[in-house]
Amino acid sequence: MTSLLHSLSEEYGIPLSTLKLNARILRGLNLISYGSVRKKRHADVEALGSFVLGLLMGDAGQATISFAD
């Protein structure tokens, strides 16, 4: 995740610390997931994150989510 955030920081001029903080917040809200230093894995958009993206993009047709009982 750090390499992705580093690239975004350089490309858009956003401080790396700001991107890291926002990534932690998004993960805490279960909108994205990513690994840790010890357990590396790709960053993914979670189901709830896809739902929110659908709402933000104005695509209410794809903005559906189901929750387990």
Cα–Cα distance between 47 and 33 in angstroms, integer? 10
Q: Is the pTM of this model over 0.85?
A: no
- Domain positions in the chain are 2-56
Which pLDDT score is estimated for 63? 53
Which pLDDT score is estimated for 55? 85
Q: By three-state DSSP, how is residue 32 classified? A: strand
**Helix 16-28, helix 2-12: angle, nearest 10:** 130
* Listed residue (49, 27, 45) closest to 36, CA to CA: 27
Per residue in 12-67, pLDDT (tens digit) is: 999 999 999 999 999 999 999 987 767 777 889 999 998 888 888 887 665 566 66
Which whole number is the average pLDDT over 6-12?
Answer: 94
Which pLDDT score is estimated for 64? 60
